[in-house]
Amino acid sequence: MYLQLLGGQAAVVADNAARAAELGAPGIDLNFGCPAKTVNRSDGGAIILRDPQRVHDIVAAARAAVPAQTPLTVKTRLGYEDSERFLDIAAGIEEAGATELTIHARTKQQGYRPPAYWELIAEARARVSLPIIANGEIWSVQDALRCRNITGCDALMLGRGALCRPDLARLIAAACGVGAARQPLHWRDVTPLLSRFFALNLARYDTQHAGNPLKQWLVYLRGYYPQAGLLFEQIKRLREPAAIQAVLEESLSSAPAGRFAA
């Protein structure tokens, strides 16, 4: 798994990238796409896109700090307020020596509001030669195929779509001729994943907060599986892990096969 870094000071990012490589990170990913206000106020994420030269300098410093064989990947948005300097940003990232570039096809100001402007990714592909991965507003196999057609990208990055549909990546791969065709997951296939996820969080969070990631995931899942909405209503006010686990076990034993098509 690659280690992702963000920050606005080139020397600091480079030092952390070098240390990560020393500790065995198989690759370093630099995040210039995060729109979170807390991150941007701390001079990290998408706010750096206001100055393409800063983006270049941070990527170049990190590239120089890690071994040549260590991949250095970058994720960006189209810009901060607007996309006027997007192609300059992409060109600077290539010039700085990045291995590949993932583009979320919206600006920071556009946040996560649809649509995603995939056509601008196609413009970047015409400008730079490094591999580009398309990201943004891919919720279904049909979205993925349309994104590939518009952008010309063979590779896609999934975000919230994969939270709504845990099998989305393999369904897309099959539709693109990679791997065997499979039926979409039913709700009864998803409920064991929820139980496992909750068990993992019990080891990572304080007892009273262990259920929060599960609740967040259910909010996404309910966009495709109506049963997730019912389960969320059952556990949303619960804090004790034993009470949440009891509800999950009941859901596991009674999970129907029904699902909604996206």
Whether 34 is catalytic: yes
**Band (124; pLDDT cuts 50, 70, 90):** very high
pLDDT digits 0-9 by tens, 76-119: 999 999 999 999 999 999 999 999 999 999 999 999 999 999 99
Is pLDDT at 41 greater than 90 in this prediction?
yes
| HSE (side-chain half, CA atoms, 13 Å) at 192 | 4
Is pLDDT at 65 greater than 70 in this prediction?
yes
Return the CATH fold of 187-254: Bacteriocin As-48; Chain A (1.20.225)
Catalytic residue of the set 34, 147, 153, 164? 34
Q: What is the mean pLDDT of residues 60-82?
A: 98
- Supply the pLDDT for residue 261: 40
- Supply the pLDDT for residue 260: 45
- Supply the pLDDT for residue 256: 61
Is pLDDT at 262 greater than 50 in this prediction?
no
CA 110 to chain centre: 17
- Whole-number Å distance between alpha carbons of 221 and 223: 5
Q: What is the mean pLDDT of residues 178-189?
A: 89
Is pLDDT at 37 greater than 80 in this prediction?
yes
Domain range 3-175, CATH architecture: Alpha-Beta Barrel (3.20)
Q: What is the mean pLDDT of residues 182-201?
A: 94
How large a percentage of the chain has pLDDT more than 90? 92
The residues spanned by each domain of the chain are 3-175, 187-254
